[in-house]
Structure 1
Amino acid sequence: MTEQKRTDPDWQDLRVFLALGRHGSLSAAARALAVNHATVARRIQSLEASLGEKLVERRPDGYVLTPAGVRTLSAAGDMETAVQTLGRGDGDDAPRGTVRVNAPPGLSQGFLIERLAELPLRHPGLDIDLATDLRSVSLERHETDIAIRVDRPLDGDFVARPLGRMAYGFYGTPSLCERMANGAPPVFIGFNEANAYLPEAAWLSREYPQARIAFRANNQFAQATAARSGVGLALLPHYIGRQVTELRSCEMPAVPPARDIWVLTRRQDRKDLPIRVVVEHVTKAFADEKGSFEA
């Protein structure tokens, strides 16, 4: 077989390839880059021609990286980090640039947003991009710079630092808690069907299999809002339940065990100043408010 001629890849081709690798489809990559589908497809073909290797395979549910694509994505991500690093500092040791953080929506809305928003005020050259969807994005694919997770992932080449323990309780309005204490059958607020796989949802279904779920929402911050109406008890991390003044903790026969919270970064980013500043800030925020999370 004739070996394809390789040429130096174009940075714009790599930039488009990064978007496709992160988002998984032409349309999502095109939206992220504010270009059209044809441009994304053309750039990917150009990069494959430059490298002499097939980088992606099209499947019904989107694009999947080939082994060569995985290697190229990692290398392109490192190049992107290096390019960004050039703008992170003007010789004054100040963190600069954008740091992307990914965390679960309840943790983001109930705790992180307010704390992370302090950083650009303290460091005018530092910008924060917080993703709060339930889908866990990948550090390896350079979809994020910092990932905050409940329970430590078992694999991956990253640095993991513990942030603390997250304990749970049932929260409801005082009148509803009183009715439950007097023997009324439990009525709960839970996760919607799309998120029934989450540990808290599975635990509630297992421990209270006959109980009515009167209201469902896709994250715990929304569930706490619903609980203010008195529609049911919400199983909440204490850091959310305790900040809603209309709710109080309600005694129930069982509550789930506490879970660990971790902050994850890529090993090669451990000396990156902006990322290190954000990690240290987050770590301190959890340490300062440890009592809000524990039982």
Structure 2
Amino acid sequence: MADRKRTEVDWQDVRVFLALGRYRSLSAAARALQVNHATIARRLQSLEDSMGEKLVERRPDGYVLTPAGEEALHAATDMEAAAQRLTRTGRNEDEDLRGVVRINAPPALGHAFLATQLARVTAIHPGLDVDLATDLQTVSLDRRKADIAVRIGRPSDGDLIAKPVGKLVFGFYGDEAQCERVERQGLAPVFVSFDEPHSNMPEALWLAQHFPRSRIALRAENHILQATAAKAGAGLALLPHYIGRQVPELRPCALAPLPPSKEICLLIRGQDRHAGPVRAVMRHLVDAFKENRALFSA
């Protein structure tokens, strides 16, 4: 395709390509730009014709950029940032923000904290849609499966910008009866922990190392389920404070030792640092963690 004739690039074609490159979905790109699918396909074909390169390949799991497409996306992102700087003069930076911002986060953090905070973002910015996906396994931003990743621990991979927003601090939580049998009666603790498929989670490994003889009465796949079981009296659960402190039926139990705290970071790709929708959501999340610092701290 390198010998195809190149013509002048249309900025509207570039905008469509940017949306498709970010969301890897024809439907999501069309929704972000408020156009129909046919327009997306037509604009993409027009850009490929102008550049004389195949930029996108369609696969069963979505759209994938070719090597030429990846290179073009970097250049298009810089063009968008420059255009935003030109139009920002004399205007509110948050005006007319539109698009879909995809966020990946650990399940418990997504359910117990992020969903509420992100709902407020969509209320403040009616043109922004948020796609929140939760997974115990980290998702690669370089493969563009998310625009913002919430990770436990500071990463070192790829061209990523990491913003520390708080600490993940743990404590043992249980109902009154379970806490009293440990604190006042001096009995061996009974625990709630991760199930067998998730027995390699750091908290599960730490618990097995420091309380190797203790009974685990109930096992569940995530901290939310473990908090529910602890609330019902199944045993003590090793929970992040932001979960334990939000369940009225649970209280902290004076049991030691405790695992070390971990850093919570927000990650974006370096090339997205000037993208208006991503910047807006990042800013709101940073503020949300700051305002709820007491929920997370020791």
TM-score for both structures, normalised by structure 1? 0.73
Q: Is residue 142–residue 158 contact of structure 2 (8 Å, CA) maintained in 1?
A: yes
Amino acid in structure 2 at the alignment position of 1:180: V
Amino acid in structure 1 at the alignment position of 2:112: G
Alignment match, 2:259:
256
Alignment match, 2:275:
272
Alignment match, 1:187:
190
CA–CA distance in structure 1, aligned partners of residues 76 and 149 of structure 2: 18
Q: Is residue 78–residue 271 contact of structure 2 (8 Å, CA) maintained in 1?
A: no
Alignment match, 1:58:
none
Residue 253 of structure 1 deviates from its aligned partner by: 2.2
Alignment match, 1:242:
245
Out of 290, 293, 296, the position equivalent to 1:290 is 293
Q: Is residue 172–residue 232 contact of structure 1 (8 Å, CA) maintained in 2?
A: yes
Q: Is residue 74–residue 140 contact of structure 1 (8 Å, CA) maintained in 2?
A: no
SS of the residue 1:138 aligns to = coil
Out of 211, 218, 224, the position equivalent to 1:208 is 211
CA–CA distance in structure 2, aligned partners of residues 7 and 219 of structure 1: 55
CA–CA distance in structure 1, aligned partners of residues 198 and 151 of structure 2: 16
Q: Which runs of 5+ in 1 are unaligned?
A: 23-28, 34-46, 56-61
Structure 1 residues 260 and 92: CA distance shift in structure 2, 3 A: closer
Q: Is residue 242–residue 248 contact of structure 1 (8 Å, CA) maintained in 2?
A: yes
Mapping 1:65-214, distance limit 5 Å: 71=67, 74-75=70-71, 93=93, 94=95, 95-181=97-183, 182-214=185-217
Q: Is residue 101–residue 278 contact of structure 2 (8 Å, CA) maintained in 1?
A: yes
SS of the residue 1:117 aligns to = helix
- The answer as to 2:226 corresponding to 1:220 is no
CA–CA distance in structure 2, aligned partners of residues 223 and 147 of structure 1: 24
Structure 1 residues 123 and 160: CA distance shift in structure 2, 3 A: same
What percent of counterpart residues are identical?
44
Amino acid in structure 2 at the alignment position of 1:103: A
SS of the residue 1:139 aligns to = coil
Alignment match, 1:37:
none
CA–CA distance in structure 2, aligned partners of residues 227 and 293 of structure 1: 19
Structure 1 residues 18 and 122: CA distance shift in structure 2, 3 A: closer
Amino acid in structure 2 at the alignment position of 1:237: P
Amino acid in structure 2 at the alignment position of 1:215: L
CA–CA distance in structure 2, aligned partners of residues 104 and 178 of structure 1: 31
SS of the residue 2:171 aligns to = strand
Q: Is residue 241–residue 248 contact of structure 1 (8 Å, CA) maintained in 2?
A: yes
SS of the residue 1:279 aligns to = helix
Q: Is residue 18–residue 76 contact of structure 1 (8 Å, CA) maintained in 2?
A: no
Q: Is residue 74–residue 142 contact of structure 1 (8 Å, CA) maintained in 2?
A: no
Residue 76 of structure 1 deviates from its aligned partner by: 7.2
Residue 74 of structure 1 deviates from its aligned partner by: 3.6
Aligned length: 255
CA–CA distance in structure 2, aligned partners of residues 148 and 183 of structure 1: 39
Q: Is residue 53–residue 68 contact of structure 2 (8 Å, CA) maintained in 1?
A: no
Q: Is residue 77–residue 142 contact of structure 1 (8 Å, CA) maintained in 2?
A: no
SS of the residue 2:163 aligns to = strand
Q: Which runs of 5+ in 2 are unaligned?
A: 7-13, 30-47
Alignment match, 1:25:
none
Q: Is residue 165–residue 260 contact of structure 1 (8 Å, CA) maintained in 2?
A: yes
SS of the residue 1:245 aligns to = coil
CA–CA distance in structure 1, aligned partners of residues 265 and 212 of structure 2: 31
Structure 1 residues 79 and 211: CA distance shift in structure 2, 3 A: farther
CA–CA distance in structure 2, aligned partners of residues 73 and 222 of structure 1: 43
Q: Is residue 166–residue 237 contact of structure 1 (8 Å, CA) maintained in 2?
A: yes
CA–CA distance in structure 1, aligned partners of residues 251 and 161 of structure 2: 37
